[in-house]
Amino acid sequence: MIARLFTTLGLAAALALPMSAQHAAAQEKSEFKVCWSIYVGWMPWGYLEESGIMDKWAEKYGIDVEIVQINDYVESINQYTAGEYDGCSMTNMDALSIPAGGGIDTTALIVGDYSNGNDGIVLKDAAELPEIAGRNVNLVELSVSHYLLARALDTVGLSERDLTVVNTSDADMIAAYSTADVNAVVTWNPLLSEIAAVKESTVVFDSSGIPGEIVDIMMVNTETLAANPAFGKALAGAWYEVMDLMASGDEAALTAMAEASGTDLAGYNAQLGSTEMFYQPADAVAFTASADLPKTMQFVAEFLFDKGILGEGAPSPEFVGVSFPDGSVYGDANNVKLRFDTTYMKMAADGAL
């Protein structure tokens, strides 16, 4: 799984965009491009392209939608932020820090899933989270792993001051953990499962402990969506057709996604087991409209602000406004750049696409 992370480099790239790219007025058009990267919950986007399901729905609305896989997750978000793509798969955290923090008005079109055990903390020779105190902890700094660590420490009255974070590439994580010097890591599947299988290792906290906080979403440019509702309808229609296949256990579809992600059907199903997929659009609508999401986004904004990556010169965690389906806003109502909107998911739920 490619790292789902937000970085100062990504934010810097966004802020360095020409003003024309950041604020180009959206117009009606018939051709669209969205991008995605490898992760269990985003594999349907590749299947949509390869199976022809996206083409079918695009044709229904008289448009063309190209779905492009980008191997570098952060680069995919940077390209979306630069205006190269009309939509991009990303987490709620990355959406706030990179495009929204960089001034690009972005809408959560399809809330696809949340991590429910895919991300975790592993300790050697220890069975309880408080035993992490005093240790060096290897993780991808400023990633969802870093966020997970911060939230986990809150639950046991600890903070980062009680340990030392060691920035470690996801590509090096397994090798690092095999050494005697490394006895605490935070990572994600499939790395998490492999590391947890090492002798005398215990997963002492995982994302099921903060359900609904690490959310995987198809984000789209707000102005583009407003000018082209057919774009939103086609994406939602195609996505939920694939969700129906997955929910029914369609072996051909699931196997194709498994192989594209570098595993087999059993491995992919195992990853789905620790992912809360919203197969039914009504479930996605309920999650997005819940009272818990604003609280989550406050946690995220406070974490990003604390790490200095919520936008250039951000004076507080409320620098960027985040709006929710009930019309409420967390943060600056005059600077709303991230919008959770259930319109198109609700159309799917109502059979209106």
217 and 297 in a single domain? The answer is yes
| Pairing, β 87-91 against β 329-330 | unpaired
At residue 135, what is the residue type?
R
DSSP label at 101? T
Domain end among 182, 209, 236: 209
pLDDT at 37 over 80: yes
Q: What is the pLDDT of residue 15?
A: 44
Sheet of 136-139, strand order: 164-167, 136-139, 184-188, 119-124, 201-206
78 and 102 in a single domain? The answer is yes
Q: What is the pLDDT of residue 6?
A: 47
Task: Single out the residue of 91, 121, 54, 1 nearest to residue 300, CA to CA.
Answer: 91
The CB-side HSE value for 239 (13 A sphere, CA atoms) comes to 32
Q: What is the pLDDT of residue 14?
A: 46
pLDDT band at 5 (very low <50, low <70, confident <90, very high): low
218 in any annotated domain: yes
50 and 130 in a single domain? The answer is no
1 in any annotated domain: no
* Contact criterion met (CB below 8 Å) for 223 and 331: no
Domain end among 186, 209, 232: 209
* Contact criterion met (CB below 8 Å) for 106 and 222: yes
Task: List the domain range (segments joined by +) for residue 300.
Answer: 8-115+213-349
* Contact criterion met (CB below 8 Å) for 298 and 314: no
| Cα–Cα distance for residue pair 347/341, rounded to 1 Å | 12
255 and 306 in a single domain? The answer is yes
Q: How many domains does the chain have?
A: 2
Give the residue with greater pLDDT, 234 vs 308: 234
Tokens of 58: 């695009």
Give pLDDT tens digits for 125-176. 999 999 999 999 999 887 888 999 999 999 999 999 999 999 998 889 999 9
66 in any annotated domain: yes
Give pLDDT tens digits for 89-136. 999 998 998 899 999 999 999 999 999 999 999 999 999 999 999 999
202 and 243 in a single domain? The answer is no
Share of the chain above pLDDT 70, in %: 93
The full DSSP string for 246-289 is: HHTT-HHHHHHHHHHTTS-HHHHHHHHHTEEE--SHHHHHHHHT
Provide the whole-model pTM.
0.86
| Cα–Cα distance for residue pair 351/209, rounded to 1 Å | 34
| Pairing, β 336-340 against β 106-115 | parallel
The full DSSP string for 285-342 is: HHHHTSTHHHHHHHHHHHHHHHTT-SSTT--STTSSEEE-TTS-EES-GGGEEEEE--
pLDDT at 1 over 50: no
